[in-house]
Structure 1
C-alpha cells in the first residue's frame, strides 16, 4: 500500500494560500468522536495557522457522517459569505453493507451541495477498514485528514477567488 510509509499531511511540495480573507465552516460528525475530534482539531489549527481569523470560522457538530451533506447545505444557505465548507467524519467498515451506503451517499451528497452553490465543499471523511486505520489518519502515522481538508479548503477558496 502506497500510504504505509507516508505521512499524507506533508504540504512541503505546494503553496498554501493565506486564509485571512476567507470565511470557512467546519461541519464535524459526532459519531466516532475520538477520531472526528482529532480531525476537527487538525482542521481548525491548520486554518488558524494559515491566516484564517477565528471569527471567520463557523463550526457545527452533527450526529453522524450521513448528516454532513445536509449540514453543508444549511451552512451555505444561511451563511452566504462562506468561501468553503469542510465536512469531517469517519465511517469504519462493519459486518453489513451500511458502510457502503453511508460512504456513497455522503460522497455524492457533498459533491451535489458543492455544485449547487458553486462553492468548495470538502470531503474530509475517513472511510477505513478498521479503527487503527482511522487513528493512523487522524493525527497518527499517516498524518491528519483534517489538516488535509483545511489545506484543500484554502486552496479551493483561493481558486474561486482568482477565477
Structure 2
C-alpha cells in the first residue's frame, strides 16, 4: 500500500527560478559570509546570476519590510533572509530577533512564497562565526537550500 502514497518533498534544482535575498548591513562581518554562501549555493544548484537580486537593509529589524515588498512584487519564486542579531546586555536583542522572525514568517504566509530564513540569533560573536562558515556550517547556504526546496514544493502543490 505504501507504494501508492504520493510524496512531495521538493528538489534542489534552482534552474529557471528567480530569487531575492535580503541581507542586513548590521554585523556585516558575519552577514557577508552568510550572503556569499547563499549566492554560491543558488548558483551551484543551477540559478542564473541574472535571476538573483540582493537587497541590503540596515539591520534584521528592517528585513521583513523589504521581504514584504519583494514578495508583493510577484517577481520572485523564492526569497532568502540573512542577518545576524547578537545578544547584548539589554532586552533589545529579544525585540529585534522576535520581530525579524515573526515578520519574515508572516510575509511567507501572507504571500504564499518560500522564504529561506538565515537570520542568526546568537548569544556570542563566537556562535555567529561558527554558524557563518566554520564548524556549524553556514546558515546562509542552509537558507538558500530551504528556499530552493520550498519553491519546488510549492510548484508541485500548485499542479
More helix by share: 2
How far did 1:77 drift? 2.1
Alignment partner of 1:126: what SS? strand
How far did 1:122 drift? 2.2
How far did 1:81 drift? 2.9
The alignment status of 1:133 with 2:132, answered yes or no, reads no
Q: Which residue of 1 aligns with 2:4?
A: none
1:107 is aligned, of 96, 101, 105, to: 101
Q: Distance in 2 between matches of 1:91 and 1:81?
A: 28
How far did 1:15 drift? 7.8
Alignment: residue pair count:
149
Could you list the runs of 5+ residues in structure 1 that have no partner in the other structure?
Answer: 1-13
1:149 is aligned, of 126, 138, 143, to: 143
1:86–1:123 Cα contact (<8 Å) kept: yes
Q: Which residue of 2 aligns with 1:67?
A: 62
TM-score scaled to structure 2, two decimals?
Answer: 0.90
Alignment partner of 2:133: what SS? strand
1:82-125 CA distances to partner (integer Å, 9 max, x unpaired)? 11110101000100000001111111111111111111122211
Once superposed, which parts of structure 1, at least 4 consecutive aligned residues long, lie more than 4 Å away?
none
How far did 1:16 drift? 4.7
The root-mean-square deviation of aligned C-alpha atoms, in Å, is: 1.3
Could you list the runs of 5+ residues in structure 2 that have no partner in the other structure?
Answer: 1-8
2:78–2:147 Cα contact (<8 Å) kept: yes
TM-score scaled to structure 1, two decimals?
Answer: 0.88
